[in-house]
Amino acid sequence: MNTRTLGGSGITVSAIGLGCMGMSQSYDPPVDRGDMITFIREAHEAGITFFDTAEVYGPFVNEELVGEALKPIRDEVVIATKFGFNYDEDGTPGWMNSRPDYIRERVEGSLRRLQVETIDLLYQHRVDPDVPIEEVAGAVKDLIAEGKVRAFGLSEAGPGTIRRAHAVQSVAAVQSEYSMWWREPETKIFPVLKELGIGLVPFSPLGKGFLTGAVNADTTFGNSDFRSTVPRFSPENLAANQALVDELGRIAAEIGATPAQLAIAWVLAQGAFIVPIPGTRSMSRLQENIGGAELQLYPDTLARLDEMVRSIDIQGERYSAYQQSRIDNQ
């Protein structure tokens, strides 16, 4: 597996990581915890060294899962987690909370659940409109000085927020959705990331499964599958967007790859500062994704792909109005 470095942090990781959210929530059907522990360890054996979780996944249980799975190989992996939400008495996530004292409280819980002394990469999960980002960055800076955190990250943050945070504590990486069917980061945050030497960690580089070719207008999603609430996954929008997958499949077949591999290779080709974290619960899919990380795109193929993504107008919002309200805080 090729490796890349997360911004100016000096943290070296596999060229793609593993997003672990779906092992505990958001996708049907549910999976066995023991199977996922085995799978995470097998992912490491296959070359993955970068694992992404968050306290809100579950909530809490995903950190526990990742911590138990990686404990025997802790020194060989990089673990990223996130803070940023309040929780009701029953543990249900509520609105955002990034007050400095609360960050410290949440980090202590994450350290315990992950069974680690230091969190390699700590993201603010969503920008909190009620807490100045300078205070957030300052709180994480203190945790870094104490050895409880190694590097600071932001998720779904805008360019102004990134600059202000970076002025207080160097930002190692920004996590945002980025793929062939969501390219907003190219104009919105790529320039500031390149200027400041910050890495990009794209989640959903496979379009939440759409770019694999396994989803079409006839696909149905269970009530516990969050895609059932996403406008982009309505039957009419899936049908309208099928042209992207059809063309992707044709190009992939010509070069002996799968659509998923081509989609991952395209993301990686957009810059050496990018480390995508496709999520999966299947070893066959993981091996396919690794193949995408090892796929070399020649200039003519890359030019065809670039023309393809420019010419196809993707239909449907990527989040519901409620979900989007948690992001629009720049």
- Which domains does the chain carry? 3-209+260-296 (3.20.20.100)
Q: Tell me what the mean pLDDT of segment 58-71 comes to.
A: 97
Task: Give the full edge-to-edge strand order of the sheet including 78-83.
Answer: 18-19, 50-52, 78-83, 119-124, 149-155, 171-177, 199-203
Confidence of residue 325 (pLDDT cuts 50, 70, 90): low
Q: Tell me what the mean pLDDT of segment 165-178 comes to.
A: 98
Confidence of residue 224 (pLDDT cuts 50, 70, 90): confident
Q: How many CB atoms lie within 10 A of CB 160?
A: 11
What pLDDT does 327 receive? 56
Residue 266: CA atoms inside 13 Å, Cβ hemisphere, count?
30
Q: Percentage of the chain surpassing pLDDT 70?
A: 97
- Reduced to 3 states (helix: H, G, I; strand: E, B; else coil), residue 122 is strand
pTM (predicted TM-score): 0.96
Residue 153, strand partner residues: 123, 173
Q: Residue 330: is its pLDDT beyond 80?
A: no
Q: Residue 179: is its pLDDT beyond 70?
A: yes
Q: Residue 29: is its pLDDT beyond 90?
A: no
| Per-residue pLDDT tens digits for 30-54 | 899 999 999 999 999 999 999 999 9
Active-site residues: which are they? 57
Is-contact 211 263, C-beta < 8 A?
Answer: yes
Is-contact 100 84, C-beta < 8 A?
Answer: no
- Reduced to 3 states (helix: H, G, I; strand: E, B; else coil), residue 12 is strand
Residue at token pair 């060989």? 76
Q: Which of 183-192, 195-204, 216-225 has the lowest mean pLDDT?
A: 216-225
- Reduced to 3 states (helix: H, G, I; strand: E, B; else coil), residue 218 is coil
Residue at token pair 């239909």? 315
Residue at token pair 């526990």? 64
Is-contact 247 312, C-beta < 8 A?
Answer: yes
Is-contact 29 223, C-beta < 8 A?
Answer: no
What is the distance, to the nearest Å, from the Cα of residue 322 to the centroid of all Cα atoms in its chain?
A: 20
Q: Among 96, 58, 26, 25, which Cα is nearest to 328's?
A: 96
| Per-residue pLDDT tens digits for 72-97 | 999 999 999 999 999 998 889 999 99
With 0-12 / 13-18 / 19 or more C-beta atoms within 10 angstroms meaning exposed / middle / buried, residue 200 is buried
Alpha-carbon gap, residue 111 to 101, rounded angstroms: 16
Alpha-carbon gap, residue 102 to 93, rounded angstroms: 14
Work out the widest C-alpha separation in the chain, in whole angstroms. Answer: 56
| Per-residue pLDDT tens digits for 236-248 | 999 999 999 999 9
Is-contact 177 202, C-beta < 8 A?
Answer: yes
What pLDDT does 322 receive? 62
| Per-residue pLDDT tens digits for 99-144 | 999 999 999 999 999 999 999 999 999 999 999 999 999 999 999 9
Q: State the Cα torsion 266-212-201-114 to the nearest 10°.
A: -150
**First-residue to last-residue Cα distance in the chain:** 35
What pLDDT does 309 receive? 95
| Per-residue pLDDT tens digits for 265-303 | 999 999 999 999 999 999 999 999 999 999 999 999 999
Alpha-carbon gap, residue 210 to 278, rounded angstroms: 12
